[in-house]
Amino acid sequence: MSEHGADLEPVRSSNPHFALFEYGFRPFFLLAAIQALLAIPLWVAIWRGDLGWLPAMPASVWHGHEMIFGFAVAALAGFMLTAVPNWTGAAAIKGPRLMLLVAVWVAGRIAAFLPWPTLFAVTDLSFLPLLSLILGPGVIIRNGRRNGVLIGILLLLAIINSAVHFDGWGVAGLSASWALNVAIATFAVLIGIIGGRIIPAFTQGGMKMAGVPFAITGHRIIDGAAILSLVFHFLGRLTNAPDAVVGSLALLTAGCNLVRFLRWQGWKTWQVPLVWILHVGYGWLILGLLLSGVTDIFGVLVPAMGLHALTAGAFSTMILAVMSRAALGHTGRQLIASRRLTVAYLCLTAAVICRVIAPLGGGLELTMVDCAALLWSAAFLIFAIEYLPVLVLARPDGRPG
C-alpha cells in the first residue's frame, strides 16, 4: 500500500465489540468532529440572519466559545487522556471516569442552547477542572518536571473560560472578547509545545515508512525562542497591552517559529498526507501570527483574517491531523491516510483559505463564507464517517486500547 493511496484497514476482529469508552481519544475525537461539522453551519445561519438566537450566551461569543471550549478542548482532552498514560506509565482513563468526563462535556454543549446562563456556566466550567483532577496526580507524581505545565495550562484555560462566561468578571477593560483572544493565544502556546514534540518525530517516522527518510535535529536555542515568543505573545494578550505591542510580539513570534518550522523541512513530505498536514497546520500558526501582527500595527487588514488563520487554520488543522494519526496508531492500524482522509485534509485547507480571504472578496464575502463552512463541515464529516468504526469498535488485533 502507498502512503497516499490506501484505504483504512477493515476491522478484522472476530468479535468487534463496542469499545468507545476504553480509551480517552475514542469518544472525544468523535465528539470533536461532530461538534465541528455541526457548529459552523449553525453559526453561519445565525450570522446571515437565517436563524434566530435566544440561548445562554450572545451569538458571536457563543461561536468563539464553542470553537475553543467545545471543539478544541474536546480534541485536547482526547489527546491528553491518550498521551498522559504513555508519559506516566499509568493506566488509561476509561470506563466510568471517562463516561463522567464525556457526560459533563456533552451537558455543557446542550446547556449552551438553553436560556439559562448560570446553568451553562456551571456545566461548562466543570469540565476542565474535572479533567485536570483526573489527569493531574499521575502527571505531577510521575512526570511533573516535563509535563506538569500542561496541567497548568488546563487550569489556566478553565479560568479564561470563566472570564468568557462572566464577560471579563466585570473588570474594566476586560471582556468576553478579551478572554477569547487570551484563549487563542493559550492554544497557540500549546501548539508550540506539543507540535514541537510531535511534528519532528512523526515526520521522521512517516518519511522512513514511506522510504524517503531524512533527519531533523533539534536546536535548543531555536526551539526555546519559538516557545518563549509564544509565551510573550500570550502575556501581551493577557495584559491587554496596546495593539502596537501585541502586534510587534505577534510578528516576533511568527519569525521565531518560522525559523523553527523551516528546520522541519516540510516541503519534503508532500507524498505522505499524514505528515504534510501537520506542517500545514503549523504553517497556519505562523501565517496567523503574521496577519495578526500586521493588522494590530498597521491596521491595513481585517482582524478576522489573522483570527481565522489561527483558529480555523492552525488549531483545526492540527486537531484533524493529530486525531487522524493518533486514532490509527492507538487502534493498531497502519499509519496510512486513506484517499478519503486526504480529501478531508484538502477540504479543510480550502475552507481555511476561503475563510481567511473572504473579507477581501467584497460582494463575494458571503459566498466565500458559505463555501468555507461547506468545505469545513465536509472535512469533519468525512473524518467522522471514516473513523466511526475505528473509534467505536475494538482494535482489530484484540489488544486493549
Q: Residues 323, 33: contact at Cβ < 8 Å?
A: yes
Say which CATH architecture domain 25-392 belongs to: Up-down Bundle (1.20)
Q: What is the pLDDT, as a whole number, of residue 2?
A: 40
Neighbours of 150 (CB within 10 A): 22
Q: What is the pLDDT, as a whole number, of residue 130?
A: 97
* Backbone phi and psi for residue 16, each to the nearest 5 degrees, phi listed first: -75, 80
Report which DSSP code applies to 9: P
Which alpha helices (DSSP H) does 66-126 contain, by range? 73-88, 96-111, 117-125
Enumerate residues 6+ apart whose C-beta is below 8 A from 203: 216, 264, 265, 266, 269, 275, 278, 279
Domain ranges across the chain: 25-392
Q: Residues 230, 188: contact at Cβ < 8 Å?
A: yes
Enumerate residues 6+ apart whose C-beta is below 8 A from 147: 84, 87, 139
Cα 291–185–71 angle (5° rounding)? 100
Q: What is the pLDDT, as a whole number, of residue 144?
A: 64
Q: What is the pLDDT, as a whole number, of residue 1?
A: 36
Q: Strand locations in 155-237, DSSP E?
A: none
pLDDT along the chain (401 residues), means of 10: 44 69 96 96 88 81 96 97 83 93 97 92 97 88 76 96 96 95 98 95 94 93 98 97 97 98 96 97 98 96 96 98 96 94 98 97 92 97 97 87 73
